[in-house]
Amino acid sequence: MDIIVAQSLLEPNAGLIVYKVIVFALLLFLLRRFAWKPIVSALGEREETIDTSIRKAERALEEARKTGEKNEEARRAAEENARRVMQEARAAAERVRTEELEKTRARIRQMQEQAQAEIEREKQRALEELRDEVAGLAIRTAEHILEETLDTDRQRKLVDRFIQQLPRN
């Protein structure tokens, strides 16, 4: 009995082989038809989808990068522009301010000068007047003196010296 059992361990069983051929052929057919075909095709489809998605994403990324670069450039240009405009405006303002200041200062100086000149003129005139007055006064004084001493020449010199001695103003 033991020997029969032991032999069956290594002895091919024809009946079992017949069954197994049928079972495995059936298994192969069933799995191929109902499992592997849909699954493998789905896997292929998915891989294709992933592949195209990746390619699409790469393309989109490239485009985005390009757009970004373009945007950056535009932004930089705009900034540059703005800075330039601002600088120009600032310079113009500065210029205007300096000009105004200069103008004002000039006018002030002019006015000052005018006033000075006026004052000078007034002073001159006043001096003239004063001198005339003093001269007249002196002459009248001299007349008075002359009426008394007739030595006009001496008297004149005297008066001149007196006038010289007077302070200028």
Partner 1 sequence: MRALNTNIRCRLVVLLLLAGCACLAPCLAYAADEEGELDAVAHTADGVYLDFAPFGAVELPRIFLRKDPWGVDVFSSTRSALLSERYVIEHEEDGHAEVLHGEALHAAIEHHEHLYAKPQPVLGSMVLDLSVTRHLVFGLLAALITVAVFVTLAQRYRRHEDRVSAPRGLFQNMFEGLIVFVRDEIARPCIGPKYEQFTPFLLTAFTFILCCNLMGLVPYAGAATSNISITFTLAAFSFVVGQRRGTRAYWRHMFWAPGIPLPVKCLLAPIELVSLIAKHFALAVRLFANMMSGSLLILSLIGIIFTINMLFGSLTATFVAPLGIAFTLFISFIKIAVAFIHAFVFTLLSAIFFGMAVEEHHEDETHAEEQPALAG
Partner 2 sequence: MDPTALAYLGAGIGAGLVAIGAGIGLGHLAGPAMEGSARQPEVANHIRVSMIIAAALLEGVALFGMVICLLLTLKT
Choose the one of partner 2, partner 1, none that binds residue 167, judging by a C-beta under 5 to 8 angstroms depending on kind.
none
- End-to-end alpha carbon distance in the chain: 166
Residue 8 lies near partner 1 (rule: CB under 8 A) = yes
Encoded tokens for 12 = 């091919």
Q: List residues binding partner 2 (CB under 8 A).
A: 3, 6-7, 9-10
Chain positions 34 to 63 lying near partner 1, rule: CB under 8 A, are: 34-40, 42-43, 45-46, 49-50
Q: How many CB atoms lie within 10 A of CB 137?
A: 12
Evaluated on CA atoms 100, 101, 103, 108, the torsion sign reads positive
Distance separating alpha carbons of residues 138 and 161, to the nearest angstrom: 12
Choose the one of partner 1, partner 2, none that binds residue 31, judging by a C-beta under 5 to 8 angstroms depending on kind.
partner 1
Interaction site with partner 1 (CB under 8 A): 1-2, 4-6, 8-21, 23-28, 30-32, 34-40, 42-43, 45-46, 49-50
